[in-house]
């Protein structure tokens, strides 16, 4: 669509520079010395009073990492990362086990308030919003989990929801059994790095037959300068259980690119279901592509049991570079994997994201719905794999990737891989790339909407299939986020 | 994605042979100084990268390094009598047949008498020797063709082929058939290059067939460069009928002018390992292109169709449709890529690929890519993979049609969607017969 002068003015008025979450909190923090060698790994492990086996596990990963080279296959371009110029551990001070919110640095609480996180459980418990579903939050600030809410209530149901360092102390048998069982330490460059230096993250265990009574949530925030955030999330849904988990991320405005290399592992046993939703609005860098977060994340779910289900939903509006492929290994018979994604890129953002559905068991099904919207000078790539193994009889996959281009300086790319080794499997893939049609715009404009509103309306319609998959309370937030991300993009 | 080359630690015997052969043979290969440096440059590309393997993205599913164990010796001159006795693979096409046997154009077997005014048919070797700028200018000047290892090997070793020039505005009523024939009781290797240049407003049909006198494990590398002038119309059809254990590397490059029309259809019916590549570029606005193909696979054969299409001008329209039928333990690969740079506004591109798996051991891989930088476009692709529809089979069985017959009807109907688009009736008939033969063998076997 040709950009009218009015729209161009709007772009310069509201551009990616005006990052809503671009505040920086002055909190004293505890830093590991800059750089990375074995002593950094030992430092992190010692800081967290980790048992010997975990230190060994980390060191093995670190040695492996030194022999690996950075992957270059993704369609993203960035200056080489100097891994020695980063802090691998940054913890806000005074983190010695906050027992209640009162013990948490008020500065920190204010930060979360600005972010609009429902961290204060008292308010929620007070009944003011009793009809709203409650959400338990694990907040991760730079590298350390600072507070986890609703712990007691969850414990009543046998649900374990805590930081991963706590889980290592309290539930070593579970951590030992499942950590690295989905994403092995040798998996890929960033996952291996994460295994060596991961600092914290969330741990969830849902016991047999329990339907987790509330949404679980983690909020990640990178605050400290020059830090890498390497969190590790491990979620185990035991037989017949259900959990819905949401993660949200922000980072303040910074000139330097900050590194985020997380690993998320999900394990669903027989008849279990995990729903994992992400709203990611890390700082995308300014209009010239300066600063912003490098988001190199490995997320994988293992449908280990029969009839298990893992569903990934992601809304990606932030980060300078996104390199992320939440995947499902459909091992158990009749298991199901889903991937719903909205990726919005503006400014100079580069997104290379997608999913892998690995069908191994019989009657496994998967569904992929990906909606990419590119504006400004951004690039968005869908890269996905659907693989049907020899034994995956009657497997079924449906994939739909749609891209919408706003302006002619951006790019949208689709790179799907389809590999079928079983004749009874049915794989369908469809992809389209187009712009907002003149007819749609004209229709909206003639009904009195201005151009911005019309675009927001059409885009929200475009991504509707995915929006519907988000938990209710985040759906509204996401709709707003979409409008903000696209504000001032070319009409 | 460009060919990413990982370090190649050891050379395979096949690579060794090629590295030894080029310096030994290059003096005898046709061409003036320009051609010689072109050959050196192309060979240097191969020498640096080696044979592509699965770590090279563009060859991910077709690992030449692992699958090409040895390189067959360069083909000696063919036995004219034996080659001449071979009937046309496309009976009834009324075509002017040009024979290229063992990599050399054979005028005495070719129908070159009484060519209409404005049509020139010659040998590529002659054009290379004289350094004909028109022909040299047409050699694979299409994005990603020159960097392709198979095309590089062809450029380094090409011995001969045909050059067809059609003057502006000339419409040929008889198709031209280029019959590539390998002659040898044991395996031979050939490198053939054809150049077809259709002037503005010209209209012609080119049919290529690839076959052999004896069923030996021949290795052929055939590249056909086609230049479609403004408002010209070129129909290109290729039937690959190599022996089952042959190695077949083929490529078509096409440069399509403004308001021109180019159609290409490729039927892969032979070879143990086939890689059929198409590199096309829309160079002028409002051109139309059709890219289609059918692949029939059985046994342990492997066939790869790779298409790189660049919409380099505004308002061009392209349609891609590739269908594969895979039986036994065969493996099919489709890689299709549509590039739309920012200036190619109003592009309309639709790519579809389908794979039909007929047996437990069959395998299908598809990678349909879109790379789009222009916003005012309509681009889409679809890919499907599955077995015959049980409901359809059941419907036919319930009406008393035997299972084998029902399957045959369904497979023919499935391939029909692609084959029906072939305009030349004789070719269409031949294709249908070939498919029927294949299906009959399948039932018998």
Taking only the tens place, the pLDDT of each residue in B343-383 is 999 999 999 999 999 998 999 999 999 999 988 899 999 99
pLDDT of residue A156: 86
**Residue A132 banded pLDDT, cuts 50, 70, 90:** very low
Cβ(B293)–Cβ(B262) under 8 Å?
Answer: no
The three-state secondary structure class of A388 is strand
How far is residue B382's CA from residue B366's CA, in Å, rounded to a whole number? 10
Query: What's B271-310 look like in SS3?
Result: CCEEEEEEEEEECCCCCEEEEEEEEEECCCCEEEEEEEEE
Q: For residue A194, give both structure tokens.
A: 């994460």
Q: Is the pLDDT of residue A144 over 90?
A: no
Say whether A420 and B372 touch across the interface (CB within 8 A): no
Cβ(A141)–Cβ(A127) under 8 Å?
Answer: no
N residues, chain B: 445
Cβ(A229)–Cβ(A193) under 8 Å?
Answer: no
Q: Long-range contacts for A63-68 (Cβ within 8 Å, ≥24 apart)?
A: A64/A185, A64/A186, A64/A192, A65/A189, A65/A192, A65/A193, A65/A195, A65/A196, A68/A189, A68/A192
Chain B, nearest residue to A1 by Cα: B376
* Torsional class of B97: left (φ above 0), alpha (ψ -120 to 50), beta (otherwise): beta
How far is residue A179's CA from residue A235's CA, in Å, rounded to a whole number? 10
pLDDT of residue B153: 96
Q: How many CB atoms lie within 10 A of CB B13?
A: 11
Cβ(B221)–Cβ(B153) under 8 Å?
Answer: yes
Domain residue limits, chain A? 5-486
Q: Which among A73, A410, A433 has the least Cβ separation from residue B370?
A: A433
Q: For residue A33, give both structure tokens.
A: 């010395």
pLDDT of residue B180: 97
Question: Could you give the angle at which helices A451-462 and A438-446 cross, rounded to 10 degrees?
Answer: 120
**Residue A140 banded pLDDT, cuts 50, 70, 90:** low
Q: Is the pLDDT of residue A263 over 70?
A: yes
Taking only the tens place, the pLDDT of each residue in A377-416 is 889 999 999 999 999 999 999 999 999 888 888 889 999 9
* Torsional class of B409: left (φ above 0), alpha (ψ -120 to 50), beta (otherwise): alpha
What does residue A125 show for φ and ψ, rounded to 5 degrees?
A: -70, -25
Mean pLDDT on B104-125: 94
**Cα within 13 Å of Cα(B342), Cβ side:** 9
pLDDT of residue A15: 39
The three-state secondary structure class of A103 is helix
- Which of A5-19, A172-186, A204-218, B268-282 bottoms out in mean pLDDT, i.e. has the lowest? A5-19
- Report the relative pairing of strands A135-141 and A215-221 from DSSP bridges: parallel
pLDDT of residue B191: 97
Mean pLDDT of chain A: 79
Chain B, nearest residue to A75 by Cα: B1
Q: Which helix (H) or strand (E) holds B405?
A: helix B403-419
Mean pLDDT on B187-205: 97
B3 has a chain A CB within 8 A of its CB: no
**Residue A96 banded pLDDT, cuts 50, 70, 90:** very low
Mean pLDDT of chain B: 93
Sign of the four-CA dihedral B122, B128, B130, B135:
positive
Q: Is the pLDDT of residue B141 over 50?
A: yes
Taking only the tens place, the pLDDT of each residue in A365-376 is 999 999 998 888
Mean pLDDT is highest, among A102-111, A287-296, B117-126, for B117-126
* Mutation for B interface: A376, A386, A398, A414, most B CBs within 10 A: A414
What does residue A183 show for φ and ψ, rounded to 5 degrees?
A: -110, 95
Cβ(B293)–Cβ(B317) under 8 Å?
Answer: no
Q: Is the pLDDT of residue A481 over 80?
A: no
Going by C-alpha positions, the residue among B188, B27, B196, B163 that lies closest to residue B101 is B188
**Residue A127 banded pLDDT, cuts 50, 70, 90:** very low
- Which of A140-144, B223-227, B339-343 bottoms out in mean pLDDT, i.e. has the lowest? A140-144
How far is residue A85's CA from residue A446's CA, in Å, rounded to a whole number? 55
Interface TM-score (ipTM) > 0.95: no
How far is residue A445's CA from residue A15's CA, in Å, rounded to a whole number? 23
Q: Which residues of A touch B368 (CB under 8 A)?
A: 414, 416, 429, 431
pLDDT of residue A329: 95
Chains A and B form CB pairs within 8 A to the count of 123
Mean pLDDT on A196-213: 89
N residues, chain A: 491
Question: B261 CA to chain A: closest CA distance, Å?
Answer: 24
B389 has a chain A CB within 8 A of its CB: no
Sign of the four-CA dihedral B140, B143, B146, B149:
negative
Question: Could you give the angle at which helices B13-25 and B149-157 cross, rounded to 10 degrees?
Answer: 30
Q: Is the pLDDT of residue A149 over 60?
A: yes
pLDDT of residue A97: 41
Q: Is the pLDDT of residue A274 over 90?
A: yes
Cβ(B327)–Cβ(B362) under 8 Å?
Answer: yes
Mean pLDDT on B164-190: 95
Per-residue buried b or exposed e for B155-175, using 16+ beta carbons within 10 Å of the residue's own CB: bbbbbbbbbbbbbeebebeeb
**Residue A139 banded pLDDT, cuts 50, 70, 90:** low
Question: Could you give the angle at which helices A189-197 and A38-47 cross, rounded to 10 degrees?
Answer: 50
B4 has a chain A CB within 8 A of its CB: yes
- Which of A156-165, B106-115, B281-290 bottoms out in mean pLDDT, i.e. has the lowest? A156-165
Q: Is the pLDDT of residue A18 over 60?
A: no
Chain B, nearest residue to A416 by Cα: B367
How far is residue A463's CA from residue A196's CA, in Å, rounded to a whole number? 37
A173 burial level (CB within 10 Å; 0-12, 13-18, 19+): exposed
Question: B182 CA to chain A: closest CA distance, Å?
Answer: 34
Q: Which residues of A touch B345 (CB under 8 A)?
A: 408
pLDDT of residue A145: 58
Mean pLDDT on B174-190: 95
B6 has a chain A CB within 8 A of its CB: no
* Mutation for A interface: B370, B380, B381, most A CBs within 10 A: B370
Q: Is the pLDDT of residue B121 over 70?
A: yes
CA B374-B377-B381 angle, 5° bins: 110
Say whether B385 and A421 touch across the interface (CB within 8 A): no
Q: Which residues of B touch A74 (CB under 8 A)?
A: none
pLDDT of residue A409: 85
Taking only the tens place, the pLDDT of each residue in A153-182 is 788 889 998 888 889 988 999 999 999 999
How far is residue A139's CA from residue A148's CA, in Å, rounded to a whole number? 6
Cα torsion through A210, A211, A213, A214, rounded to 10: 130
Q: Is the pLDDT of residue A247 over 90?
A: no
Query: What's A30-52 look like in SS3?
Result: EECCCCCCHHHHHHHHHHCCCCH
**Residue A31 banded pLDDT, cuts 50, 70, 90:** low
A165 burial level (CB within 10 Å; 0-12, 13-18, 19+): buried
Going by C-alpha positions, the residue among A163, A179, A244, A177 that lies closest to residue A210 is A244
* Mutation for A interface: B346, B385, B392, most A CBs within 10 A: B385
CA B384-B387-B392 angle, 5° bins: 105
pLDDT of residue A131: 38
B11 burial level (CB within 10 Å; 0-12, 13-18, 19+): middle
Mean pLDDT on B39-66: 94
* Torsional class of B161: left (φ above 0), alpha (ψ -120 to 50), beta (otherwise): left
Q: For residue A138, give both structure tokens.
A: 């694990």
Chain A, nearest residue to B383 by Cα: A429
Q: Which residues of A touch B382 (CB under 8 A)?
A: 428-431
Kindly give the residue spans of alpha helices, DSSP state H, lying in A397-471.
Answer: 438-446, 451-462, 464-467
Going by C-alpha positions, the residue among B335, B343, B289 that lies closest to residue B316 is B289
Whose structure tokens read 């059929």? B276
Q: Is the pLDDT of residue A122 over 50?
A: no
pLDDT of residue A4: 35
* Torsional class of B259: left (φ above 0), alpha (ψ -120 to 50), beta (otherwise): left
How far is residue B411's CA from residue B389's CA, in Å, rounded to a whole number? 11
pLDDT of residue A126: 31
Question: A350 CA to chain B: closest CA distance, Å?
Answer: 13
Cβ(B194)–Cβ(B225) under 8 Å?
Answer: yes
How far is residue A319's CA from residue B366's CA, in Å, rounded to a whole number? 31
Q: Which residues of A touch B373 (CB under 8 A)?
A: 408, 410-411
Say whether A405 and B383 touch across the interface (CB within 8 A): no
* Mutation for B interface: A433, A434, A459, most B CBs within 10 A: A433
pLDDT of residue A107: 58
- Report the relative pairing of strands A29-31 and B96-101 from DSSP bridges: unpaired
Q: Which residues of A touch B363 (CB under 8 A)?
A: 419-421
- Report the relative pairing of strands A411-420 and A232-237 from DSSP bridges: unpaired
């Amino acid at each position: 669509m040709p950009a009218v002068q009015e729209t161009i003015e709007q772009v310069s008025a509201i551009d990616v520079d005006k990052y809503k979450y671009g505040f920086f909190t002055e909190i004293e923090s505890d830093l590991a010395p800059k750089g990375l060698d074995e002593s950094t790994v030992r430092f992190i492990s010692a800081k967290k009073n980790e048992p010997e086996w975990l230190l060994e596990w980390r060191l093995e990963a670190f040695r492996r990492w030194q022999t690996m080279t950075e992957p270059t296959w993704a369609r993203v371009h960035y200056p080489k990362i100097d891994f020695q110029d980063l802090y691998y551990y940054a913890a806000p001070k005074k983190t010695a086990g906050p027992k209640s919110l009162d013990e948490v640095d008020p500065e920190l609480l204010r930060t979360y308030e600005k972010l609009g996180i429902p961290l204060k459980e008292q308010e929620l418990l007070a009944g003011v919003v009793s009809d709203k579903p409650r959400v338990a939050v694990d907040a991760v600030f730079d590298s350390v989990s600072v507070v986890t809410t609703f712990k007691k209530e969850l414990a009543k149901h046998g649900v374990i929801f805590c930081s991963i360092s706590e889980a290592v102390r309290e539930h070593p048998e579970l951590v030992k059994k499942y950590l690295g069982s989905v994403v092995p330490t040798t998996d890929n460059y960033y996952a291996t790095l994460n295994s060596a230096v991961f600092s914290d993250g969330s741990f969830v265990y849902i016991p047999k037959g329990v339907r987790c009574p509330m949404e679980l949530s983690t909020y990640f925030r990178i605050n400290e300068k020059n830090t890498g955030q390497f969190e590790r999330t491990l979620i185990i849904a035991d037989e017949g259980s259900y959990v819905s988990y949401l993660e949200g991320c922000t980072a303040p405005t910074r000139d330097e690119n900050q590194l985020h290399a997380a690993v998320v592992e999900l394990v669903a046993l027989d008849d279990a279901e995990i729903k994992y939703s992400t709203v990611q609005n890390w700082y995308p860098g300014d209009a010239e592509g300066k600063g912003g977060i490098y988001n190199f994340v490995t997320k994988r779910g293992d449908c280990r049991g029969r009839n298990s289900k893992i569903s990934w939903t992601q809304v990606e509006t932030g980060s300078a570079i996104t390199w992320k492929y939440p995947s499902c290994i459909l091992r158990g018979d009749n298991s199901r994997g889903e991937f719903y994604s909205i990726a919005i890129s503006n400014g100079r953002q580069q997104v290379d994201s997608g999913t892998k559905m690995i069908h191994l068991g019989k009657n496994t099904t998967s569904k992929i719905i990906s909606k990419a919207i590119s504006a400004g000078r951004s690039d968005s790539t869908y890269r996905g794999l659907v693989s049907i193994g020899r034994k995956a009889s009657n497997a079924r996959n449906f994939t739909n990737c749609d891209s919408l281009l706003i302006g002619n300086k951006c790019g949208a790319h689709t790179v799907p891989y389809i590999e079928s080794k079983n004749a009874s499997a049915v794989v369908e893939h469809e992809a389209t790339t187009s712009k907002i049609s003149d007819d749609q715009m004209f229709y909206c404009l003639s009904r009195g909407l201005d151009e911005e509103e019309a675009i927001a309306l059409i885009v929200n319609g475009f991504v509707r299939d995915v929006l519907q998959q988000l938990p209710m309370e985040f759906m509204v937030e996401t709709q707003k986020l979409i409008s903000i991300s696209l504000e001032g993009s070319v009409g | 994605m460009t060919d990413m080359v990982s370090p190649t630690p050891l050379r395979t015997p096949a690579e060794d042979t090629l590295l030894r052969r080029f310096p030994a043979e290059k003096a005898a290969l046709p061409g003036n100084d320009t051609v010689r440096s072109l050959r050196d440059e192309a060979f240097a590309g191969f020498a640096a990268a080696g044979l592509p393997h699965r770590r090279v993205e563009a060859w991910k599913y077709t690992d030449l390094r692992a699958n090409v164990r040895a390189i067959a010796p360069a083909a000696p001159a063919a036995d004219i009598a034996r080659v001449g006795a071979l009937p046309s693979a496309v009976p009834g096409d009324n075509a002017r047949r040009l024979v290229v046997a063992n990599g050399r154009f054979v005028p005495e077997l070719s129908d070159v008498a009484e060519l209409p005014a404005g049509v020139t048919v010659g040998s590529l070797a002659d054009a290379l020797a004289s350094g004909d700028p028109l022909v040299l200018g047409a050699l694979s000047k299409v994005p990603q063709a020159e960097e392709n290892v198979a095309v590089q090997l062809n450029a380094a070793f090409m011995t001969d082929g045909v050059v067809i020039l059609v003057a502006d505005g000339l419409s040929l009523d008889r198709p031209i058939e280029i019959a590539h024939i390998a002659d040898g009781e044991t395996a031979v290797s050939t490198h053939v290059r054809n150049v077809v240049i259709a002037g503005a407003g010209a209209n012609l049909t080119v049919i290529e067939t690839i076959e052999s006198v004896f069923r030996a494990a021949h290795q052929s590398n055939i590249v056909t460069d086609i230049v479609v002038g403004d408002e010209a119309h070129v129909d290109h059809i290729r039937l690959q009928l190599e022996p089952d254990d042959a190695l077949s590397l083929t490529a078509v490059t096409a440069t399509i002018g403004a308001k021109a029309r180019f159609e290409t259809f490729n039927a892969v019916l032979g070879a143990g390992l086939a890689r059929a590549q198409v590199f096309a570029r829309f160079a002028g606005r409002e051109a139309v292109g059709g890219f289609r193909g059918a692949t029939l696979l059985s046994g342990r054969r492997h066939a790869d169709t790779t298409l790189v299409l660049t919409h380099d001008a505004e308002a061009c329209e392209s349609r891609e449709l590739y269908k594969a039928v895979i039986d036994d333990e065969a493996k099919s690969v489709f890689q299709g890529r549509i590039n739309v740079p920012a200036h190619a506004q109003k592009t309309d591109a639709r790519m579809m690929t389908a794979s039909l798996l007929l047996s437990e051991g069959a395998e299908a891989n598809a990678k349909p890519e879109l790379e789009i930088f222009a916003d005012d476009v309509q681009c889409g692709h679809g890919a499907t993979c599955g077995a015959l529809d049980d409901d359809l089979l059941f419907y036919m069985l319930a009406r008393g049609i035997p299972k084998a017959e029902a399957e045959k009807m369904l497979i023919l109907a499935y391939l029909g969607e692609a084959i029906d688009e072939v305009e030349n009736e004789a070719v269409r008939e031949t294709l249908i017969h070939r498919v029927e033969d294949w299906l009959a063998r399948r039932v018998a076997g």
